[in-house]
Structure 1
Amino acid sequence: MADTSSFKENYFVGVDVGTGSVRAALVDKCGKILRVSSKDTKTWSPKPDYFEQSSSDIWSSCCYVVRDISKDVNVSCIKGIGFDATCSLVALNDNGEPLSVSPSGNNDQNVILWLDHRAIDETNFINSLNHPVLKYVGGKISLEMETPKLLWLKKNLKERCWDKAGWFFDLPDFLTWKATGTDSRSLCSLVCKWTFQADPKGYTGWSKSFFEEIGLSDLASNNWHKIGSHWQEPGRLVGSGLSDLAARELGLDPGTPVGTSMIDAHAGGLGMIGCLAEGVPSDFSSRLSLICGTSTCHMAVSKEPLFVSGVWGPYYSAMVPCYWLNEGGQSATGKLIDHIIDSHPASITAKQQAGDIHIQTYLRLTLENMAKRQKLPSVTMLTKDVHVWPDFHGNRSPIADPSLKGMISGLSLSANEEDLAILYLAAVQALAYGTRHIMESLTDSGHYFESLLMCGGLSQSSLFIQTHADALGLPVLKPRESESVLVGAAILGACAAGVFDDMHTAITAMGGEADVVQPRALEYSYHEKKYRVFLKMVEHQKEYRTIMTEFDDLR
């Protein structure tokens, strides 16, 4: 932790609410992180594919981490605060109190977590209507978005939740409401997860015909009060800054500027899209940003709207002002790697052998020893006979099919540490091929990329980064300030404080520098072959499903 005794400049707080924890950082005007604090949050899973949280628990955790990083700091030096969070659905009653979204009826469980897949029937119903608004989500709405979850609540918890609801918030907007008392929604959340339309050359607002068609027309009452009557771009000042109550809870000054919020992945994109690296073009639209956590989001911006089948967007000003955003993604990446490792018979032994070394580092070292022993030019070639299709939690992009399953080809009766290492490597490669699959869909629709940007947990793995560079044939930029999501949240606070002339200036000033990992020619050739197998695997899965459907038709 940095010595704050001589802090006299302007500083900003970035708060990041992830899937399982809340973090906060104290950040200077150059994007350097001086302090970080984190606190775990609670998650309930009352049924398979149901994941619920508590907005009270989340806010309490926000207060804890902000007070922790500002301890012994003259808070008058903290000029702004920004929040990002997962795109989870928060339900409150008319008094702003938590309202249960759970079959349990427990009001503490008032948040449907982003990865909750309970609304699959509602998602299929909405997609069957083929309303024109769906062209802005790649042609199909995702069950991770809020509209299917709202429909599920109306159908399944009408008396207990729907009829009593005073507000439904995306979690990032709940945080700014809690901080300021002002009900102002972020364009980032609304256009990306709520089917809100924003077009500087056309219509901006809610589509009444869409909500009528899907059976949620009652949300239009009182000028759409329950889901948002007022909206603005990320980074704009919310209300009059921190309320007196929130300031006391957070340990900051009342009136401290609060920036309009962002979804967590988008904050990661914002925090690193302006980073600089020698020899790599800095044009925002030439960069594909990967924010790698439990899942991975793929962010691409363009100056004109580009429609990409199976990829969300285009969304106007959702991440970078005046740019259109396309958002691809993989529903399980960090979670998949954990699952592959933790479910393997050799996992316990490997972790014991690793000791203080991170298990993924230990497996990488195991792979290096194996490649050396087999006289292979690189660890990459160890997976010649082992192939993975990584959609263990469905496909978000570009197939947009949440019913797809994971696949592994090449298993044997052996289950030792080396088998675990190879399976781990095959899973990492499969995630890189998933990124390539998304990138090809983006480029087919008009995007052009000259580099990848990476942040988040998986980006700490040198194997993960090098595999992506090799598999896609592009340099990967890794920001030297590794916590890009927290930097992005701090940028929102800095913009709200008016420290920079505009968001673009803030992005460049706080983006910092990046290290570059270059692709390797031999490995790229190997991945070309593996990628062909990758695409065959999903074809085969669909064929298997068709064959088995023939049995269902006989019953």
Structure 2
Amino acid sequence: MDFTTATASRAVPYKRERMEPGSLDDTRQAQRPRTAEVLLEEQLPNGIIETEEEKQKHWFVGSIDQGTTSTRFLIFNGHGEPVASHQIEFENKYPHSGWHEHDPIELLESVEVCIDKATEKFVAQGHSLSEIRSVGITNQRETTVLWDKTTGEPLYNAVVWPDTRTTSLVRELKSRPGAEKLQELCGLPLSTYPSSVKLLWVLQNVDSVRKAYDEKRLAFGTVDSWLIYRLNGGHDREGGPIYVTDSTNASRTMFMNLRTLDYDDTLLSFFEIDRTKLDLPKIVPSSHPTAFGSLARGSLKGTPIAGCLGDQSSALVGQCGFSPGQAKNTYGTGCFLLYNVGHEPVISKSGLLATVAYDFGQGRKPVYALEGSIAVAGSGVKFLQNNLSIIKESAEVDAVAKTVPDNGGVVFVTAFSGLFAPYWIDDAKGTLFGVTQHTEKGHIVRATLEATCHQTAAILDAMATDSGHALAKLAVDGGMSNSDLCMQTQADLSGIPVDRPAMRETTALGAAIAAGLATGVWNELDELNEVNSKGRKVFMPQLEVRQRKRMRRRWERAVDMSRGWVQHEDDED
């Protein structure tokens, strides 16, 4: 059980290897798919047109799921069921306290290896590669990649979404005129979280990046833009590079206006970004048959990339949260709760983010969401394993936690990167309260699980305040949702049922749905009503209201006491 990703199989460590495009035999190479335009018009032999049932049995969609700790490629059938996959972990770099980086080339190569390994398994099952109609991409958001548009090579490591090196910069930005008006335009508050402040820090501190900016060679993007650019062949692509993003990812940069779904001059001016010096990717719908190009090499060369969604939007789509009032929570490395608010953005007054949930184009209106983000979820479990050696494997969490009946008075505020929604406390540090000589490791494990559940409950309260009504139930997915104890704790602390699907690859499924909608695997959202509906388990609240309130009050007190631990040079004597 991996508590940072929702994977059906154990990840293998990343190795710097790449399968060459010609590594499959000639028969399998001949099975490569055709372009999106041809696929949309394709019929069976003798002019027979498939029924919907036949089509769903016949066609498959691939999904690139590029996350914070690993990359995966999954292949789904028309019923939304995964039939083949491959996953590899890659290196997370922490050069200084609070810094978090990835090698952009390593991200790209991990994607290419996963595609080739998963398609090998797919073919071994007796399938043809020509049955894979298109590919979708879902990715970690906010993570910032900068490259030279004349060479296609990265100029600096990717700065990953939880990175907090920008804390001092954010404090300075908050004092600038107009800072209080930004959230109304873009839906995000100033914090270390969005891509804008990461870009600004790199421009101010990395000479090679600043030089490229001044010489008008600098390309900026989130991980989706980087992957799409390189998977299409980069700057060497015939006809020019594909340099795009979708609105779910663009809405995490603080550069895009939520209502126009385009870059906003007021936002760019606030961050002092000169658009004549910086290339920004074109913003396109999340589902499109041609806008994202096609794979330029490897086992699926020529297959159209037809869908793109930021990972948390993708999970909402994978949970089929297509109606206002539906919500999902994904327990991955971090924890992210999205609440569908319909076709108009809702700017939160309670510490939440406003974001684009998805935009499927083709005459459909974009859909918006309220979002609550928690920096530490599955990574807290990894902390117990890797840093404290309290557990040997993530799968041991429930067993160790059950060695004690409760948390023994221990509260763990897991503010390793400050606290995100609904608190937005940049100067908090991880803090353990209530430790006595009777504290056992089981108490600390329970407190770690409860930390994520408490923050989720606080986000649900904020969503009820902003929307005017409480949520009826919470759909969940992600690696940490594998823990029955954690999900029961979530139901108890939130006071609402928690609904967990049997197939929890919902983030990857969402990207597959976006690609499938663009290439005719599905035509309308109502065709997806039965997708991933089998075998769901519902956890009902069992804790008395009085006890729930007592635990929540103790948590809020601990949050207040965790403030102010990050010191800045100008604050010290």
Equivalence for 2:332: 293
What is the aligned-residue RMSD (CA, Å)? 3.1
Return the letter of the residue paired with 2:368.
W
Return the letter of the residue paired with 2:139.
A
Three-state SS of the structure 2 residue aligned to 1:366 is: coil
Three-state SS of the structure 1 residue aligned to 2:133 is: strand
Equivalence for 1:79: 133
Shift of the alpha carbon at 1:12? Answer: 0.5
Shift of the alpha carbon at 1:89? Answer: 1.0
Equivalence for 2:150: 95
Are 2:489 and 1:489 equivalent residues in the alignment?
no
Are 2:313 and 1:266 equivalent residues in the alignment?
yes
Are 2:74 and 1:52 equivalent residues in the alignment?
no
Q: Mark the CA change 1:317 to 1:162 in structure 2 (over 3 Å): closer, same or farther.
A: farther
Three-state SS of the structure 1 residue aligned to 2:279 is: coil
Three-state SS of the structure 1 residue aligned to 2:276 is: helix
Deviations 1:29-58 (A, max 9, x none): 111011110112223222222222222221
Are 2:332 and 1:308 equivalent residues in the alignment?
no
Q: Mark the CA change 1:112 to 1:392 in structure 2 (over 3 Å): closer, same or farther.
A: closer
Pairwise mapping of residues 48-197 of structure 1 onto structure 2 (< 5 A)? Answer: 48-71=97-120, 72=123, 73-87=127-141, 88-101=143-156, 109=157, 111-129=158-176, 130-136=179-185, 140-161=189-210, 163=212, 165-180=217-232, 181-197=241-257
- Larger relative helix fraction: 1
In 2: Cα distance, 1:522 partner to 1:366 partner:
19
User: Unpaired segments of 5 or more residues in structure 1?
Assistant: 102-108, 275-282, 368-378
In 2: Cα distance, 1:233 partner to 1:127 partner:
31
Q: Mark the CA change 1:536 to 1:423 in structure 2 (over 3 Å): closer, same or farther.
A: same
Q: Mark the CA change 1:179 to 1:506 in structure 2 (over 3 Å): closer, same or farther.
A: farther
Q: Mark the CA change 1:204 to 1:68 in structure 2 (over 3 Å): closer, same or farther.
A: closer
Q: Mark the CA change 1:47 to 1:343 in structure 2 (over 3 Å): closer, same or farther.
A: closer
In 1: Cα distance, 2:151 partner to 2:518 partner:
25
CA contact (8 A) 1:291 1:456 kept: yes
Three-state SS of the structure 2 residue aligned to 1:485 is: helix
Three-state SS of the structure 2 residue aligned to 1:536 is: helix
In 1: Cα distance, 2:425 partner to 2:368 partner:
24
CA contact (8 A) 1:82 1:260 kept: yes
Q: Mark the CA change 1:337 to 1:221 in structure 2 (over 3 Å): closer, same or farther.
A: same
Equivalence for 1:479: 501
Three-state SS of the structure 2 residue aligned to 1:291 is: strand
In 2: Cα distance, 1:55 partner to 1:226 partner:
18
TM-score (norm 1): 0.82
Equivalence for 2:400: 363
Shift of the alpha carbon at 1:427? Answer: 2.0
Equivalence for 1:373: none
CA contact (8 A) 2:358 2:368 kept: yes
Q: Mark the CA change 1:156 to 1:241 in structure 2 (over 3 Å): closer, same or farther.
A: closer
Are 2:83 and 1:34 equivalent residues in the alignment?
yes
In 2: Cα distance, 1:393 partner to 1:285 partner:
31
State which of 279, 282, 294 in structure 2 corresponds to 1:242: 294
Q: Mark the CA change 1:338 to 1:527 in structure 2 (over 3 Å): closer, same or farther.
A: farther
Shift of the alpha carbon at 1:188? Answer: 0.7
Shift of the alpha carbon at 1:496? Answer: 2.4
Q: Mark the CA change 1:260 to 1:124 in structure 2 (over 3 Å): closer, same or farther.
A: farther
Pairwise mapping of residues 213-232 of structure 1 onto structure 2 (< 5 A)? Answer: 213-216=270-273, 218=274, 220-221=275-276, 226-228=279-281, 230-232=282-284
CA contact (8 A) 1:188 1:318 kept: yes
Q: Mark the CA change 1:553 to 1:457 in structure 2 (over 3 Å): closer, same or farther.
A: closer
Q: Mark the CA change 1:289 to 1:36 in structure 2 (over 3 Å): closer, same or farther.
A: same
Shift of the alpha carbon at 1:397? Answer: 0.4
User: Unpaired segments of 5 or more residues in structure 2?
Assistant: 1-7, 10-27, 32-55, 233-240
State which of 424, 439, 453 in structure 2 corresponds to 1:400: 424
In 2: Cα distance, 1:447 partner to 1:60 partner:
46
Shift of the alpha carbon at 1:553? Answer: 7.8
Equivalence for 2:490: 468
Shift of the alpha carbon at 1:461? Answer: 0.5
CA contact (8 A) 2:340 2:357 kept: no
CA contact (8 A) 2:204 2:210 kept: no
Three-state SS of the structure 1 residue aligned to 2:339 is: strand
Report how many residues are paired.
Answer: 498
CA contact (8 A) 2:195 2:252 kept: no
Q: Mark the CA change 1:83 to 1:138 in structure 2 (over 3 Å): closer, same or farther.
A: closer
Three-state SS of the structure 1 residue aligned to 2:316 is: helix
Shift of the alpha carbon at 1:116? Answer: 1.8
Three-state SS of the structure 1 residue aligned to 2:324 is: helix
Shift of the alpha carbon at 1:162? Answer: 5.0
Q: Mark the CA change 1:554 to 1:116 in structure 2 (over 3 Å): closer, same or farther.
A: closer
In 1: Cα distance, 2:139 partner to 2:352 partner:
18
CA contact (8 A) 2:69 2:89 kept: yes
Return the letter of the residue paired with 1:173.
S
Return the letter of the residue paired with 1:20.
T
In 1: Cα distance, 2:165 partner to 2:572 partner:
29
State which of 405, 411, 414 in structure 1 corresponds to 2:435: 411
Shift of the alpha carbon at 1:473? Answer: 1.2
Three-state SS of the structure 1 residue aligned to 2:165 is: coil
Three-state SS of the structure 2 residue aligned to 1:172 is: helix
The share of aligned pairs that are identical, in percent, is: 17
Equivalence for 1:438: 459
Shift of the alpha carbon at 1:20? Answer: 1.7
In 2: Cα distance, 1:435 partner to 1:140 partner:
19
Shift of the alpha carbon at 1:131? Answer: 5.0
TM-score (norm 2): 0.79
In 2: Cα distance, 1:20 partner to 1:51 partner:
11
In 1: Cα distance, 2:547 partner to 2:386 partner:
28
Three-state SS of the structure 2 residue aligned to 1:517 is: strand
In 1: Cα distance, 2:253 partner to 2:358 partner:
11
In 2: Cα distance, 1:553 partner to 1:42 partner:
34
Return the letter of the residue paired with 1:398.
P
